[in-house]
Amino acid sequence: MNIITGLLVATIRMSTPLMLGALGEVFVERTGVMNIAIEGIFLMGAWGGFVGAYLTGKLWMGLLFAMIVGILCGAVYGYFTVKLKQHQIVTGVAINILTVGLGLFLYQILFGIPLLPLTVEPLKDIAIPFLSDIPIIGSALFNQNILTYLAVVLIALGYWVLFKTPLGLIIRSTGENPEAVDVAGINVERIRFLAVLGSSALDGLAGAFYSIGFLGLYTNNIIGGRGWIAFAICFLGNWDPLGILIGSLIFGFAEGLSVTLLTSNFKLIPNEFLIALPYILTIVATIARRKFNVPAFLGKPYIKERG
């Protein structure tokens, strides 16, 4: 029994940052822009979260700072890709390379090179009374930290905004046919830039989860490609917040499973296969693209052909 609960707890916990990152990516890709800097912004968010929490002693300051750092990074990415209309992939790669060095560099500016890594007390779990006592699933669903609850709330909110409000209609239309939005008198660049900022804020928050929500420290490898998983989840989830939820749980499960199996010496399936499974799934999904609703203008800069 304990193993299953443990697995469920780990699943939901590990899927939290994926949910945040993928949700942000959904919004920005729905406007037609891919946030390729996602992995780098996750990392900077982890840095920001740790630094903020360590210096002020308050975890929520860390989260706030992580979001701000994310927004700053997003502003750079957005400026290059939306305003200057430069190439999204190249700009994103540049930022990803930059942040690897930058995170560590800024960490060392602040803290030097400590003998033992500095730590922060990570986010505590908040048990929702009564519900968290439900056997098996209780602690998995209702005894998580605040970011997890936030993530779920944001997904619900995101779904509502995207499909039930005029703003959501504008966002979706921008990615499907920016000209239609332009002709209606709405500034396409502004929508896209704001979407980049919004997704970057969420990415920052997601990164912070790894540093202050879970591990309580910051290292250079703390993200380890999980920004890209969030990126892939957006695709696999068909650019739909509910799909994101399911996708994040699947990947979170895979990660939780591999950790559980690793510690339990139970080797039926090679660990690496489990780790690779989500990526393989994404490839298969990408090939079967016809069933998926890729925003028609994803990745293409909107250039007004006018003077």
Partner 1 sequence: MEKNNQHNNKNIKRELSLKKQEDYFLLNLLPIFSVLLGLLLSGLMMLLLGHNPLTVYSNMLNYAFRDIYNIADIFAKATPLILTGLAFGFAFRASLFNIGAQGQFYIGAVMAVGFALKLGSMPLLLTLFICFLMSMVGGSIWAAFIGYVKARFNANEFLVSMMLTYVAIAVMNFLLGGFLKETKGEYPQTDVIPDSGWLPSLIPHTRLHWGFVLALLVALIAYLILWKTSLGYKIRMVGYNRDAARYAGINVEQIFVIVFFISGAFAGIAGFTEVNGMQHMLIESFNPLIGAEGIGIAILGGAHPLGIVISAFLFGALKVGGNLVVQTSRIPASIIGIMEGLVILSVVFSYFIRNRLIILNSKKKLAVQERKDL
Partner 2 sequence: MVEFKINNDYITLKNITKYFPGTIANDHINFTLARGEVLALFGENGAGKTTLMSILYGLYQPDKGEIYIKGKLIRIRSPQDAMKYGVGMIHQHFTLVPVHTVAENIILGTESYILKYLDIEKRIKKIKEIGKKYGLEVDPNAFVGQLPVGMQQRVEIIKALYRNAQILIMDEPTSVLTAQETSKLFNFIRDFRSKGYSVIFISHKLNEVMEIADRITVLRDGKIVGNVLRKEATEKKLTKMMIGRDLMIPGKNNILRTNQREILKIENLTIMGDRKSKMVDDLSFNVKEGEIFGIAGVSGNGQEELAQAICGLRKVKSGRIVLNKKEITNSNALSIIEKGVGYIPADRHKEGLVLDMSIEENLLLKNHSDSSFVNYGFLDRKKMKDKAKRLMENFEIKAASPQSKAMTLSGGNQQKVAVAREVSIGSNALIAVQPTRGLDLGAIDYVHKTLLREKKEGKAILLISTEFSEIMALSDRIGVMYRGKLLKIILREDAKIDEIGMLMAGITEG
The residue ranges that bind partner 2 (CB under 8 A) are 161, 164-170, 172-173, 176-177, 179-186, 293, 296, 306-307
Cα–chain-centroid distance for residue 203?
A: 4
* Tokens linked to 88: 């999204």
Q: Which listed option, partner 2, partner 1, none, makes contact with residue 98 (CB within 5 to 8 Å by class)?
A: partner 1
Chain-centroid distance, C-alpha 105 = 23
Residue number, 33 or 154, with CB nearest to partner 1: 33
Nearer to partner 2 (CB atom), residue 58 or residue 164: 164
Binding site for partner 1 (CB under 8 A): 34, 76, 80, 84-87, 89-91, 93-105, 108-109, 113, 220, 225, 228, 231-232, 235, 270-273, 275-276, 279-280, 282-283, 286-289, 294
Distance, in Å, from the CA atom of 73 to the CA atom of 53, rounded to the nearest integer, reads 19
- For partner 1, give the closer residue by CB, 43 or 206: 43
Quote the least distance from Cβ 292 to partner 2, whole Å. Answer: 12
Residue 6 contact among partner 2, partner 1, none, beta carbon within 5 to 8 Å by kind: none
- Output the smallest distance, CB 100 to partner 1, in A: 5
Q: Nearest approach, Cβ of 145 to partner 2 (angstroms)? A: 28
Token pair for residue 121?
A: 């007390």
Q: Which partner, partner 1, partner 2, none, binds residue 280 by CB below 5 to 8 Å per kind?
A: partner 1
CB closer to partner 2 out of 241 and 252:
241
- Tell me the backbone φ, ψ of residue 143, rounded to 5 degrees: -130, 60
Least separation in angstroms between CB 80 and partner 1: 6
Shortest separation between residue 175's beta carbon and partner 2, angstroms: 9
- Residue 98, classified by CB atoms within 10 Å of its CB into exposed (0-12), middle (13-18) or buried (19+), is middle
Q: Using the minimum distance from each CB to partner 1, give the nearer residue, 159 or 239.
A: 239
How many Cβ atoms from other residues are within 10 Å of residue 80's Cβ? 19
- In the complex with partner 1, the residue whose CB is nearer, 169 or 276, is 276
Q: Which does 262 bind (CB under 5 to 8 A by kind): partner 1, partner 2, none?
A: none
Cα–Cα distance list, 12 to 8, 102, 156, 202, 279 (Å): 6, 30, 16, 18, 19
From the list 235, 255, 183, the residue with the least C-alpha distance to 17 is 255
* Nearest one of 105, 99, 104, 122 to 227, comparing CA atoms: 99
- Which residues are paired to 303 by β-bridges? none
Q: Which CB atom, from 176 or from 255, has the smaller least distance to partner 2?
A: 176
Q: How far is the CB of 28 from partner 2 (least distance, A)?
A: 17
CB of 276 to partner 1, least distance (A): 4
DSSP codes, 37-87 = THHHHHHHHHHHHHHHHHHHS-HHHHHHHHHHHHHHHHHHHHIIIIIS---
Residue labelled with tokens 């006592």? 133
Nearest to 92 by CA among 195, 173, 210, 196: 196
